[in-house]
Amino acid sequence: MSEYLPGLAGVPATKSNISNIDGEKGILSYRGYPIEELAKNSTFEETCLLLLDGRLPTAAELSDFDEQLRDNRQVKYHIRNLMKTLPESGHPMEMLQTAVACLGMFYPGNECLTGADSCQDLDYIHNMTVKIIARMGTFVAMWEHIRNGYDPILPRHDLPYAENFLYMLNGKEPDPLLARIMDVCLILHAEHTINASTFSVLVNGSTLASPMSVIAAAIAALSGPLHGGANQKVLEMLKEIGTPDRAAAYVDKKLANKEVIWGMGHREYKTKDPRAKILQGLMAEFMADRGGNLNPMFEVAKEVEKVCEDRLAKKGVYANVDFYSGLLYSEMGIPADQFTAIFAIARSAGWLAHWREQLSDNRIFRPTQMYTGEPVRKYVPINKR
Amino acid sequence: MSEYLPGLAGVPATKSNISNIDGEKGILSYRGYPIEELAKNSTFEETCLLLLDGRLPTAAELSDFDEQLRDNRQVKYHIRNLMKTLPESGHPMEMLQTAVACLGMFYPGNECLTGADSCQDLDYIHNMTVKIIARMGTFVAMWEHIRNGYDPILPRHDLPYAENFLYMLNGKEPDPLLARIMDVCLILHAEHTINASTFSVLVNGSTLASPMSVIAAAIAALSGPLHGGANQKVLEMLKEIGTPDRAAAYVDKKLANKEVIWGMGHREYKTKDPRAKILQGLMAEFMADRGGNLNPMFEVAKEVEKVCEDRLAKKGVYANVDFYSGLLYSEMGIPADQFTAIFAIARSAGWLAHWREQLSDNRIFRPTQMYTGEPVRKYVPINKR
């Protein structure tokens, strides 16, 4: 038996072509393309296709895929009615898990995945992938209205993914800078090698469950506070600090108590998270665009970052992607408990790329355990216990 | 980096006290108690508590737990309305994943699981465990009526778990032998060490997601045809064979083509699956009770088993638990596509025991990958592809 490593830390669970992290140099690449180049030149739609197919699409392929996504934005009224049965106070991630899980009942067909050699019905895989990615944004935006007692805003066919998402959320077309920031946020969150939720895709997908079941399960993993919930926590932390002058005392107290400072540091990077650098640039652009007219949390965030850099940069701990994304989403008028759901919209692309890769060389996950329990013993009748 | 083993076969993913398999001797034990003794002496309720708490309960503890389960059988009308929005043709496992996922929105509180040291809010863990196990049977029975266009039958407080489940399903109290057979089936399926769905519980649970999210995700894993779907497949196979005289030719053709014969063999056992032996005994009892008045599939099954034993016993391949459970459920009037959902009812006990064990010494699962993709490369503008 191999060595037992808690959390399987460092244990290779798969071979993968999809993304790679060079933690020393601070490079994240999707299919070989550094995240900086994708953030600068690509769109979420193109990045999805890159992750799924393994190469940058031609103009015709991209336009075709984009059209498929637009055609699949609408959600059946049955699912709208389902959402209306859910409690308004429920967490958006649990709504999203529920909505994606039920989607599989409307689009069956995973029987085509039976058997090791016939796992590659690429038409089915592609069609289901489009159905899921296209609807993720609609689900999240719908819920924002339904939980507040309003009818959801129908998707528009004439807008790109990020722009349509903000339109469905706010009922008006976003200004171009905010639409671009959202598009970049989706690109940056689309994929990040094998973390708990992507690993969940491999494990659940390896039983040949339906893709909707598999993605709904990954949403469960991402919903956990140790995984996807950090950008929501950042905003809660900034609100708790309240004013810039209280930042230093807050940070020092947390450090003294060895408590988490949300949005700081990342296990995979020894340098600054490359995604954080990109968002920092967009935030500066956004601040310049707005002039002084900014949410007071921005000033608190700047101060927290400055204090943390002073205390932690020498240990290789810097602000990460969650630190900035939460702030930016907040400025777009998005409630903090929706941040992880937006993360899930983006990550559905990476999850589905890993699902497809898993099926291309499938083996069911069945690790083993170190049994540390009682040896075989005799049953004791209830009156003798 | 450790060696790469596809499917993590043989890699220890956890330390566990819950169950153990001795594949050479054909022993399955829960908390040290052999499955034969539990099938003979215990009930599903007692077995749940044994799995969860690690020891056989006193009479007072058992009665208290049983009462809690009975008190939690009812399902809110919001969830009944949710089920009515689902397509009748949808698979019961996807319904179950949806229903369990939404349950978390009605019962929040997983914030109490934050941080490594405070993962052990045992009251929360116990209460959520009861809420889930108690409702699993109700969900499955409700769906059988709702998908056929009828209102579900309300649970009864005066019946034990298995009996109440059959009552909700069929609208009448089951005869005592069938109730006992269902109770034993639930005991036999309640736990089976670290397979794909239980591993999914560890992975998703390690992010501190809500227990409803975690169990809904495990239902996804179990729904896959490589995992929980086998007892449904057994019945489909028997129907395909049709008459006993065609069994030998069918089996020989499958063996010649190296195709699966559903319900035969188990990776973990070199001898006959101990659960299969128990069900075989119950089936004989049931057949004697019914006299000659049996579903014709029983005769087909007996012949398939005889032929397989003749061809495969020398290789250590015998009929497994799925072979008999499908037949027995069928005789109880349960449609084949519900068999895996009944498996899930039972397994929710084991899943929740593993969830609790994971939280008692939690570390987020983050294995690694062997990156086999493109090296870092430069982005190519769309007009140059």
Three-state DSSP state, A13: strand
Q: Is the pLDDT of residue B292 over 80?
A: no
Q: Which of B94, B119, B262, B360 to mutate to test the interface with A (most CBs of A within 10 A)?
A: B94
Q: Cβ A385–B59 below 8 Å, yes or no?
A: yes
**DSSP H/E element including A286:** helix A274-290
> A230-331: which CATH architecture?
Orthogonal Bundle (1.10)
* Domain parsing of chain B, residue ranges: 14-225+341-360, 230-331
Which active-site residues of A does the annotation give? 266, 322
Using CA coordinates, name the residue in chain A closest to B197.
Answer: A204
Per CATH, the number for B14-225+341-360 is 1.10.580.10
DSSP secondary structure letters along A99-112: HHHHHHHHS--GGG
Q: From the CB of residue A289, how many other CB atoms can be counted at a distance below 10 Å?
A: 11
Which residues on B lie below 8 Å from A267 (Cβ)?
Answer: 366
Split at pLDDT 50, 70, 90, the class of B112 is: confident
Q: What is the pLDDT of residue A111?
A: 82
Q: Cβ A370–B14 below 8 Å, yes or no?
A: yes
Q: Cβ B227–A364 below 8 Å, yes or no?
A: yes
Q: What is the pLDDT of residue A316?
A: 86
Give the model confidence (pLDDT) of A111-158 as tens digits. Answer: 888 655 556 789 999 999 999 999 999 999 999 999 999 999 999 999
Give the model confidence (pLDDT) of A186-227 as tens digits. Answer: 999 999 999 999 999 999 999 999 999 999 999 999 999 888
Residue B85 CA to residue B3 CA, distance in Å, equals 48
Split at pLDDT 50, 70, 90, the class of B114 is: low
Which active-site residues of B does the annotation give? 266, 322
Using CA coordinates, name the residue in chain B closest to A29.
Answer: B376
Q: What is the pLDDT of residue A295?
A: 80
Comparing CA positions, the residue from A348, A375, A300, A384 lying closest to residue A100 is A348
Q: From the CB of residue B384, how many other CB atoms can be counted at a distance below 10 Å?
A: 7
Q: State mean pLDDT over B345-360.
A: 97
For residue A168, the cross-strand partners are none
ipTM of the complex: 0.96
Three-state DSSP state, B374: coil
Comparing CA positions, the residue from A135, A177, A202 lying closest to residue A350 is A202
Q: Cβ B97–A38 below 8 Å, yes or no?
A: no
Give residues with Cβ within 8 angstroms of B284, minimum separation 6.
Answer: none
B33-34 β-sheet, strand order:
B19-22, B27-30, B33-34
Using CA coordinates, name the residue in chain B closest to A8.
Answer: B367
Low-confidence ranges of chain A (pLDDT < 50): none
Three-state DSSP state, A7: helix
Q: Is the pLDDT of residue B193 over 70?
A: yes
Q: What is the pLDDT of residue A232?
A: 84
Burial A217-231 (b: 16+ CB within 10 A, else e): bbbbbbbbbbbbbbb
* Structure tokens, A26: 């601070």
Q: Cβ B2–A12 below 8 Å, yes or no?
A: yes
Comparing CA positions, the residue from A48, A197, A193 lying closest to residue A132 is A48
Model pTM above 0.90: yes
Q: What is the pLDDT of residue A119?
A: 60
Q: Is the pLDDT of residue B82 over 90?
A: yes
Q: Cβ A223–B210 below 8 Å, yes or no?
A: yes
Q: What is the pLDDT of residue A116?
A: 53
Which of B59, B227, B367 lies closest to A199 in CB terms? B367
Q: What is the pLDDT of residue A105?
A: 97
Comparing CA positions, the residue from A29, A40, A333 lying closest to residue A184 is A40
Give the model confidence (pLDDT) of B40-51 as tens digits. Answer: 999 999 999 999
Q: State mean pLDDT over B45-71.
A: 98
Which residues on A lie below 8 Å from B143 (Cβ)?
Answer: none
Residue A293 CA to residue B25 CA, distance in Å, equals 74
Which of B4, B91, B377 lies closest to A15 in CB terms? B4
Which residues on A lie below 8 Å from B112 (Cβ)?
Answer: none
For residue A20, the cross-strand partners are A29
Q: State mean pLDDT over B116-124.
A: 72
Give the model confidence (pLDDT) of B308-317 as tens digits. Answer: 999 998 988 9
Q: In degrees rounded to 5, what are phi and psi of residue A23?
A: -70, -30
Q: Cβ B102–A106 below 8 Å, yes or no?
A: no
Q: How many residues does chain A have?
A: 385
Among the residue ranges B16-20, B25-29, B262-266, the one predicted with the least confidence is B262-266
Q: What is the pLDDT of residue B10?
A: 92
Q: Tally A–B CB contacts below 8 A.
A: 403
Which residue shows structure tokens 């028997």?
B238
Comparing CA positions, the residue from A324, A352, A349 lying closest to residue A339 is A324
Q: Is the pLDDT of residue B98 over 80?
A: yes
Fold agreement between B14-225+341-360 and B230-331: no
Comparing CA positions, the residue from B385, B365, B248 lying closest to residue B306 is B248
Q: What is the pLDDT of residue A334?
A: 94
